[in-house]
């Protein structure tokens, strides 16, 4: 069983912000399986699907970005699985806008949501799918940038990146090796 977590902020005012790329991608995963986020548990909205005869949990934490680890820790405990079966999708300012990068483990970089997950789970050993958001043309403080809305002219680029991230997550959860998926999607 895998748990796919899309990071973001739960309020509607954040819906189209850079920090909600993970939420959007998680929605794309749920849509692929025709499931909705009906449950509210473990401080997250949760959708359940079936993939190759195994349960697949898709979650959007309600803890706000900086406390995402609380929800992830609870989900891992409730569903009795380990971080090795966790895939986290999130925005990453360290990557150019619209790029998708997959890593089997690693540090949090500049991302507070990832810092929280690493602190709460006690490990960096879980798959992460990063969606690049850095725009060289924009020069504002990082906190203001990640909470700002995606520019209209860039929206389709980001929606496509979220779709690619969702597809990669489903392939990994479906049993495809992370290094193979990295080869297919990183770039």
Letter string b/e over residues 143-168, b meaning 16 or more CB atoms within 10 A of that residue's CB: eebbeeebeeeeeeebbebbbbbbbb
158 pLDDT exceeds 90?
yes
- pLDDT score for 139: 85
Q: Give the pLDDT confidence of 99-113 residue by residue, as tens digits.
A: 999 999 999 988 999
Three-state DSSP string of 91-105: EEEEEECCCEEEECC
**What's the mean per-residue pLDDT of the chain?**
96
Q: Are 182 and 12 in contact (CB under 8 A)?
A: no
Q: Confirm or reject CATH 2.60.120.590 for domain 2-185, answering yes or no.
A: no
Split at pLDDT 50, 70, 90, the class of 138 is: confident
Task: State residue 187's pLDDT score.
Answer: 67
Spatial distance between the Cα atoms of 4 and 15, rounded to a whole number of angstroms: 19
> Is 19 among the catalytic positions?
yes
Specify the residue for token string 């991608």. Answer: 25
Q: Which of 6, 19, 102, 132 is catalytic?
A: 19
Mean pLDDT over 87-105 rounds to 96
State mean pLDDT over 36-46.
97
- What is the pLDDT at residue 18? 95
């Amino acid at each position: 069983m895998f748990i796919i977590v899309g990071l973001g902020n739960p309020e509607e005012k954040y819906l189209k912000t850079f920090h909600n790329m993970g939420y959007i991608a998680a929605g794309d995963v749920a849509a692929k399986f025709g499931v909705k986020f009906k449950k509210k548990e473990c401080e997250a909205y949760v959708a359940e699907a079936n993939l190759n005869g195994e349960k697949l949990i898709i979650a959007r934490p309600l803890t706000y970005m900086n406390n995402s680890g609380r929800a992830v820790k609870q989900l891992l405990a409730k569903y009795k699985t380990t971080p090795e079966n966790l895939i986290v999708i999130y925005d990453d300012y360290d990557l150019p806008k619209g790029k998708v990068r997959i890593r089997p483990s690693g540090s949090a970089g500049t991302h507070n949501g990832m810092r929280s997950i690493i602190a709460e789970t006690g490990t960096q050993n879980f798959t992460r799918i990063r969606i690049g958001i850095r725009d060289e043309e924009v020069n504002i403080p990082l906190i203001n940038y990640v909470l700002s809305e995606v520019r209209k002219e860039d929206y389709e680029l980001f929606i496509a990146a979220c779709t690619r991230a969702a597809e990669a997550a489903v392939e990994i959860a479906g049993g495809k090796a992370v290094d193979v998926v990295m080869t297919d999607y990183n770039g």
